[in-house]
Structure 1
Amino acid sequence: MLFKLSMSGLRSKFKDYIVLLAGLVMSISIFYMFETLAMNKQFLLANSMIKSIMFVFQAGSVLLSIVTFFYILYANSFLLSLRQKEFGMYMMLGARKNKIMRLMFIETIVIGLISLVIGIAVGVGLAQGIGLLLMKELDLGSEGYYAFYMPSLLITGIFFLALFVVSAILNTVKMMRVTVLQLIHAEAQTDRVVTKGKKRVFSAVLSIILLLIGYASMINMERLRENGIIIALITVTSGTYLLFITFLPLIIAGMKRNKKRTEKGLNAFTYAQLNFRVRSLTKVLATVTMLIALSAGAISAGMAFKNNVAIMVEGTSYYDLTLHNPTEQEQAILAKIPLDVQQSYHYKKNEKAIYYAKDELVKNPPRIPVFGDRKEYGKTQFPIAELPTGSEVRGDVVNEKAPSMPFEWLRAMEIVQPYFVYQDQRVIIADQKTYDRIPGEEGVALLVKSNQFESHLTEWKQLDALQRSKYRIAPDGYMSSKYSNYIASKAMSSGTEYMGFFLGIAFLAMMASCLMFKILTGAAKDTHRYEMLRKIGVRRQLLMRSMYKELFMVFLFPAAIGMVHVLIGMNIFSFILVDPYFKVWLPIAIFLMIYAVYYFITVQLYRGIVLPRQQ
């Protein structure tokens, strides 16, 4: 009989259970997707620029496990809240508490097993679809990547089974401690907010200290390396939870005490709504904050590695290409590219050496990269040292009597006379009179640059292929052109880009699931309060405005702290990337746009529950 009543109650709250199941499925699928990368050592090592990538993913697994742990505990406490009034009624009718506890335990495990099976299936599908799509977009090989990966399946299954058992035990213990009246009137109880006391002050100070230590470790990641990751993982995570537990109730209480604010419109009602479930808000919003930091941080890191390719290539080579005696076909391709710089240098070639006119080089010298610290990377300059007449660049036979060439001019001549053109032939700098008397075939070296390099990769590829054919360079042989360096750098970074975008999408989906789960699961409890305000004559427009404001604050708190985590956390890549903050506004802006769209969707779903349109 008790089982039939339980099934009847379950059917009556079917929509709430669907929301719960969807949240659990999403968290399981995201965890599985992360582990498909974290446990695949072969794929990680083959496709990452970060030497300690395995350690990074192990630390990430710990962080995701902590976040998932809190999420699952909250989700299963919601399962208890769905049925506690109903269980109280059963106990008033004579049902024994031990049977209610047993029934609750079984329900928790069954729902957990169902969500685990569906979640792993969804995770495999997402890993296959998102993974292959990103690999195609980034031109990344799929060797070593498996959407269905048995080690990650086993660790996901074991981890979540353990979590569901722990959750079931905690729900059972909670049932033992509550009275029948507490179960029946659970929905009418508010969270007790403590805003004073030594413990509160201690927690507030500790949260700030922990965050400062975590931020300092991320800023000094180049020196701390693996230790910095461990310190940041512990301090930032614990500091974030303490920050929300301590300061969020204080902020809401402060809003309620501000009479000027509370007397405007329905602000008093809005702040009361926030205050009503503030204790559950603190833990969920702290979890959402960490997911926002992980999501936006992973996307920003992936974008940073992508942008770093252009920065690295530009920093090592100012000119896009050096063409010696360009053919008609090469000139036709160059005509399709808007060139911003064209510099030409004449030379004569005979059996003895290659001769360049000193006057032409000095009058119009080529730009060379500046060598210095990271801040100077990407800057260029003209050679300022004097170019000695008769100095030589290279050659099989070293002329000890020839004056030595300054390092700056050696770098300049490597640009004008790339090694792959004439290889070991001697290159001599001659004055104009000597150059005019030298017998031999005259040629021209053309240096070109376009400010739209990445917009014309097809043309650069064609020119690169013609150069390889002209000088008989194998397709996999080294050639010092910007396009060749660009492709090599892109190949090195594409794996890390893929991991960043893949994990960013995964964490974004989990964040959306977590926050929507919190808001929509509490919507049913808010319905009667909105109905009461409607009955006493409050306009629908005012209620809508209050609703938008309440949910905006719920979305605002984690987004603000999460963005701070991301902006400081980008320092983690400062010793790998030339400029981790280059165009960082772009991925953050994209993330905030998605976050804003998700906010409006959530408001509409919430409104449909608590304030349905009258027929």
Structure 2
Amino acid sequence: MLLKLSMSGLKSKLKDYFVLLAGLIMSVSIFYMFQTLALNKAFLESNNAGISSIQFVFHAGSFLLAIITFFYIMYANSFLLSLRQKEFGMYMMLGAKKHKIMTLMFMETIVLGFASLLLGTGVGVGLAQGVGQLLMKQMEFTGSGYHPFYFPSLQVTAIFFTILFVLSAILNTIKMSRVSVLQLIHAEANTERATVKGKMTIVAAIFSLVLLAIGYYSMIKINVFAQVGIIVALITITSGTYLLFMTFMPWFINLFKRNKRSYEKGLNMFTFAQLHFRINSLTKVLGTVAMLIALGAGAISTGMAFQNNVMATANMMSIYDAVIHNPTTKEKSMLDTITFKESDEYRFKYDSKFVYYVKEDLVSHPPFVRVYNGMSGVKNTGEIKRVSDELPLGDSTNWSDDWHEAFRTIHVDGAHPDRKIRIVNEQQYEQLKGEAGVAFVGQADDFLKYEQQWKELDQLQVAKFKLDSVNQLDSKYSAYKMMHGFSSGLVFMGFFLGIAFLAMMASSLMFKILTGATKDISRYQMLRKIGVRKELLTKSIYKEQFYVFLFPAIVGIVHVLIGLNMFSFIILDPYYRVWVPLTLFIAIYMVYYVVTVQMYKRIVLPKEQ
């Protein structure tokens, strides 16, 4: 009989359970999806030493995701308990034993958990396949060894969530055991105490700003503090964020209440009274959401910046797209398929000791060099110009810095091992008896458009000069592939982790808000009975939840915009297209805001006759 009553109650709240189940499925699928990276050794070890060297990043991200998932499940199960506690109180009033109710609650939590685990792993395999292949295609990242269905990941996910759901069921059962029948029946009548004002609140508010200032300064000056700055920023910003919400949210509400004109307009008095009642329980979750926003949007932003950094770094390391000495017939035919916006040829002769370049060729068509402005750091990319300094005859003793830089670009050391460079005039060149050759340099209209040609040209030169590897050419393509191999794993992990955090952050806030919704039912019923229109109550709900969603969004975005500066010492433009992840975050956030409001309305607003 008790089971039938329970199933009947469950059916009456089927929509709420569906949202809860969808959230749990999302949590499981994202966790599994990330485990396919964190545990897949074949994927990590077979994709360049750059990726295998950052295995700790994947494991650290996995650990962080596990912590977030733990709190997410706690919020979700609190919502589950809040949905049924009055119903369970009624069963006990009708004679049901408390241990029977506790067993029923335990079974419901476990069944819901295992259903979400089963469906979530299936969705996770699909997402791992779809999202993984999409990201690899966009980043031109082969990802050999990556398998969407990976048994060790499935095993870890199953063990982790089984423990988590059992623990949640036990905690819910313990909570139920400590609550009396009357407390269950009148659960929605309980109110939360507002924050008590005092000197300690002011001190804590100031201290939160000091902690945030220290954290921001550590990130801005990351090139000075290095790893210590990262550790300091993590500690100070995390603690500062929680303190900020604990102190400034009550202050903001009280500040608004002092503005009588706005406070007494419409249902603003009721709206801010609602915020005042629940502010204590919300501060911690608001801090968590703000940090999740920063981590999620920051991870995607950093991934995009690393992707952009590949080509930017290659351009900085080598001005010319192609530097070829003595082009063969096959190399010339390959060059003919490329559209060059700038190209030059420099004659030379070489013997056993020297490579002789013709001064007239170099002076009439000076090579490009990168001019730096004296600043240090990765952001100092410099401007490109043609060399205008005097070029003396002879060896490099009297060359200017620009000419030294120019010959580092146009001269291929691998083609002329152990030979020094000398400058000769036209007449001297004609009298030399060494082997004649030409150095071709060019800048294409679009480097990535001709990626296959650069690859084949490098391979032809390696074979022609009998080099050990492409790296000995020091070409732009070799620099590009080196940076691409190093950054692809970081970009891949950044997008995975970012999507996981962004998907979880708003749903955590949603479940926390809905957990306390039953306590607000009586207040909305009272307002409706005294004649307040439903449209005004709906407007009040939208406004109340807007403020709750707004503040962590602002703080999280500020964290992202300042925190990206941490990567300025290894990324040329850490703010590259930062609007993309922020737009993605806002879209996800707005969806959860609308869903939360609709579910909250269904719980608190009285049903119309």
Does TM-score exceed 0.5, indicating one fold? yes
Equivalent-residue separation in structure 2 for 1:261 and 1:144 (angstroms)? 61
Contact 1:512 1:598 in 2 (8 A): no
**Match in the other structure for 2:576:** 583
Contact 1:49 1:496 in 2 (8 A): no
Equivalent-residue separation in structure 1 for 2:226 and 2:421 (angstroms)? 45
Greater shift, 444-453 or 186-195, is seen at: 444-453
- In structure 2, relative to structure 1, the CA distance for the partners of 1:541 and 1:94 (3 Å cut) is closer
Contact 2:75 2:511 in 1 (8 A): no
The letter of the residue matching 1:181 is L
Stretches of structure 2 that go unaligned for 5 or more consecutive residues are: none
Query: Once the 2 structures are TM-superposed, how far is the Cα of residue 558 of structure 1 from its aligned partner?
Result: 1.9
- In structure 2, relative to structure 1, the CA distance for the partners of 1:599 and 1:154 (3 Å cut) is closer
Matches within 5 A, 1:174-213: 174-197=175-198, 200-201=201-202, 203-213=204-214
- In structure 2, relative to structure 1, the CA distance for the partners of 1:425 and 1:166 (3 Å cut) is closer
Query: Once the 2 structures are TM-superposed, how far is the Cα of residue 530 of structure 1 from its aligned partner?
Result: 6.9
Contact 1:88 1:180 in 2 (8 A): yes
**Match in the other structure for 1:85:** 86
Equivalent-residue separation in structure 1 for 2:52 and 2:154 (angstroms)? 26
Query: Once the 2 structures are TM-superposed, how far is the Cα of residue 344 of structure 1 from its aligned partner?
Result: 4.4
- In structure 2, relative to structure 1, the CA distance for the partners of 1:452 and 1:510 (3 Å cut) is same
**Match in the other structure for 1:281:** 282
- In structure 2, relative to structure 1, the CA distance for the partners of 1:587 and 1:516 (3 Å cut) is same
**What do the CA deviations read for 1:431-481 (whole angstroms, capped 9, x no partner)?**
344346657897654433356434554665576577668767788564343
**Match in the other structure for 1:453:** 447
Matches within 5 A, 1:34-183: 34-41=34-41, 43-44=43-44, 46=47, 49=50, 53-183=54-184
**Match in the other structure for 2:410:** 416
**Match in the other structure for 1:28:** 28
Equivalent-residue separation in structure 2 for 1:567 and 1:49 (angstroms)? 27
Query: Once the 2 structures are TM-superposed, how far is the Cα of residue 192 of structure 1 from its aligned partner?
Result: 2.0
User: Please, what TM-score do these two structures have when normalized by structure 1?
Assistant: 0.82
**Match in the other structure for 2:381:** 377
**What do the CA deviations read for 1:83-114 (whole angstroms, capped 9, x no partner)?**
11112222333334343334333333333333
The letter of the residue matching 1:448 is G
Query: Once the 2 structures are TM-superposed, how far is the Cα of residue 278 of structure 1 from its aligned partner?
Result: 3.4
Equivalent-residue separation in structure 1 for 2:578 and 2:430 (angstroms)? 56
Matches within 5 A, 1:314-353: 314-322=315-323, 329=333, 332-334=336-338, 336-337=339-340, 339=341, 341-347=342-348
The answer on 1:594 being equivalent to 2:594 is: no
Equivalent-residue separation in structure 1 for 2:343 and 2:165 (angstroms)? 68
Query: Once the 2 structures are TM-superposed, how far is the Cα of residue 429 of structure 1 from its aligned partner?
Result: 0.9
Matches within 5 A, 1:216-615: 216-219=217-220, 229-322=230-323, 329=333, 332-334=336-338, 336-337=339-340, 339=341, 341-347=342-348, 355-362=356-363, 364-370=365-371, 373-374=376-377, 375-380=379-384, 386-391=390-395, 408-420=402-414, 427-435=421-429, 445-450=439-444, 452-455=446-449, 457=451, 460=454, 478-518=472-512, 546-575=540-569, 577-592=570-585, 594-595=587-588, 598=591, 602=595, 605-606=598-599, 609=602
- State the SS of the aligned residue for 1:447: strand
Equivalent-residue separation in structure 1 for 2:400 and 2:572 (angstroms)? 30
- In structure 2, relative to structure 1, the CA distance for the partners of 1:363 and 1:264 (3 Å cut) is farther
Count of equivalent residues: 601
The letter of the residue matching 2:6 is S
Equivalent-residue separation in structure 2 for 1:68 and 1:199 (angstroms)? 33
Greater shift, 228-237 or 480-489, is seen at: 228-237
- In structure 2, relative to structure 1, the CA distance for the partners of 1:458 and 1:184 (3 Å cut) is same
Stretches of structure 1 that go unaligned for 5 or more consecutive residues are: 393-402
- In structure 2, relative to structure 1, the CA distance for the partners of 1:356 and 1:57 (3 Å cut) is closer
User: Please, what TM-score do these two structures have when normalized by structure 2?
Assistant: 0.83
The letter of the residue matching 2:488 is S
Greater shift, 232-241 or 538-547, is seen at: 538-547
Contact 1:552 1:599 in 2 (8 A): no
The letter of the residue matching 1:390 is G
Greater shift, 26-35 or 321-330, is seen at: 321-330
Contact 1:315 1:379 in 2 (8 A): no
**What do the CA deviations read for 1:9-44 (whole angstroms, capped 9, x no partner)?**
222222212222222222222223333333345544
Contact 1:325 1:445 in 2 (8 A): yes
Equivalent-residue separation in structure 1 for 2:320 and 2:234 (angstroms)? 43
The letter of the residue matching 1:555 is F
**Match in the other structure for 1:400:** none
Query: Once the 2 structures are TM-superposed, how far is the Cα of residue 589 of structure 1 from its aligned partner?
Result: 4.0
The letter of the residue matching 2:14 is F
- In structure 2, relative to structure 1, the CA distance for the partners of 1:349 and 1:166 (3 Å cut) is closer
Query: Once the 2 structures are TM-superposed, how far is the Cα of residue 300 of structure 1 from its aligned partner?
Result: 0.9
- In structure 2, relative to structure 1, the CA distance for the partners of 1:28 and 1:278 (3 Å cut) is farther
Contact 2:303 2:490 in 1 (8 A): yes
Equivalent-residue separation in structure 1 for 2:585 and 2:204 (angstroms)? 30
- In structure 2, relative to structure 1, the CA distance for the partners of 1:487 and 1:358 (3 Å cut) is same
Equivalent-residue separation in structure 2 for 1:202 and 1:32 (angstroms)? 43
Contact 2:300 2:495 in 1 (8 A): yes
The letter of the residue matching 1:333 is T
The letter of the residue matching 1:175 is M
Contact 1:288 1:515 in 2 (8 A): yes
- State the SS of the aligned residue for 1:319: coil
Equivalent-residue separation in structure 1 for 2:53 and 2:600 (angstroms)? 47
- In structure 2, relative to structure 1, the CA distance for the partners of 1:464 and 1:532 (3 Å cut) is farther
Query: Once the 2 structures are TM-superposed, how far is the Cα of residue 303 of structure 1 from its aligned partner?
Result: 0.7
Contact 1:303 1:587 in 2 (8 A): no
Equivalent-residue separation in structure 2 for 1:47 and 1:540 (angstroms)? 61
- In structure 2, relative to structure 1, the CA distance for the partners of 1:115 and 1:361 (3 Å cut) is same
- State the SS of the aligned residue for 2:473: coil
Root mean square deviation of aligned Cα? 4.1
- State the SS of the aligned residue for 1:566: helix
Query: Once the 2 structures are TM-superposed, how far is the Cα of residue 299 of structure 1 from its aligned partner?
Result: 0.6
- State the SS of the aligned residue for 2:393: coil
- State the SS of the aligned residue for 1:333: coil
Equivalent-residue separation in structure 1 for 2:532 and 2:426 (angstroms)? 93
- State the SS of the aligned residue for 1:376: coil
Greater shift, 346-355 or 295-304, is seen at: 346-355
- State the SS of the aligned residue for 2:117: helix
- In structure 2, relative to structure 1, the CA distance for the partners of 1:218 and 1:42 (3 Å cut) is farther
Equivalent-residue separation in structure 1 for 2:205 and 2:49 (angstroms)? 39
Query: Once the 2 structures are TM-superposed, how far is the Cα of residue 422 of structure 1 from its aligned partner?
Result: 5.5
The letter of the residue matching 2:584 is F
- In structure 2, relative to structure 1, the CA distance for the partners of 1:52 and 1:355 (3 Å cut) is closer
Contact 2:313 2:572 in 1 (8 A): no
The letter of the residue matching 1:134 is L
The letter of the residue matching 2:576 is K
Contact 1:70 1:287 in 2 (8 A): no
The letter of the residue matching 1:9 is G
Equivalent-residue separation in structure 2 for 1:298 and 1:534 (angstroms)? 46
- In structure 2, relative to structure 1, the CA distance for the partners of 1:352 and 1:127 (3 Å cut) is closer
